[in-house]
Amino acid sequence: MKNPIKKVIAVHDLSGFGRCSFSVIIPTLSALGVQVCPLPTAVLSTHTGGYQGFTFRDLTEDIVPYFDHLTSLGTEFHAFYSGFLGNVEQIEQVEYMINRVKDTMTVLVDPVMGEDGELYSTYNEEMMHGMKRLVRDAHVITPNVTEASFLIGETPKAEYTKDDVKNMVQSLCRMTKGKVVVTGIEGDRSVNCAFSEDGGVTVGFTSNKRVGRQYPGTGDIFASVLLGRLLQGNALEDSIKNSSAFVRSVMEYSAQFDYPEREGVLLEAKLQELF
Ligand code: PXL
Give residue-wise pLDDT tens across range 245-254: 999 999 999 9
| Residue 144 confidence class, pLDDT cut points 50, 70, 90 | very high
- Is ligand 1 within 6 A of the CB of residue 114? no
Taking the centre of ligand 1 as the mean of its atom positions, its distance from the CA of residue 193, in whole angstroms, is 21
Give residue-wise pLDDT tens across range 31-51: 999 999 999 999 999 999 889
**In the prediction, which pLDDT does 169 show?**
98
- Cβ-Cβ contacts under 8 Å for 69 (sequence gap 6 or more): none
| Residue 220 confidence class, pLDDT cut points 50, 70, 90 | very high
Ordered by where they begin, the domains of the chain are 6-274 (3.40.1190.20)
Taking the centre of ligand 1 as the mean of its atom positions, its distance from the CA of residue 62, in whole angstroms, is 20
* DSSP class of 48: S
Average pLDDT estimate for 82-108 = 97
Average pLDDT estimate for 227-238 = 98
**In the prediction, which pLDDT does 261 show?**
97
Residue 187 pLDDT > 80, yes or no? no
- Is ligand 1 within 6 A of the CB of residue 217? yes
Taking the centre of ligand 1 as the mean of its atom positions, its distance from the CA of residue 59, in whole angstroms, is 16
Residue 113 pLDDT > 80, yes or no? yes
Taking the centre of ligand 1 as the mean of its atom positions, its distance from the CA of residue 20, in whole angstroms, is 6
Tell me the C-alpha distance between 254 and 251, whole Å: 5
- Is ligand 1 within 6 A of the CB of residue 18? no
**In the prediction, which pLDDT does 49 show?**
86
Tell me the Ramachandran region of residue 119: left when phi exceeds 0, alpha when psi lies from -120 to 50, beta otherwise: beta
Q: What global pTM score does this model have?
A: 0.97
* 66-93 burial: b if 16+ Cβ within 10 Å, else e: bbeeebeeeeebbbbbbbbbbbeebbbb
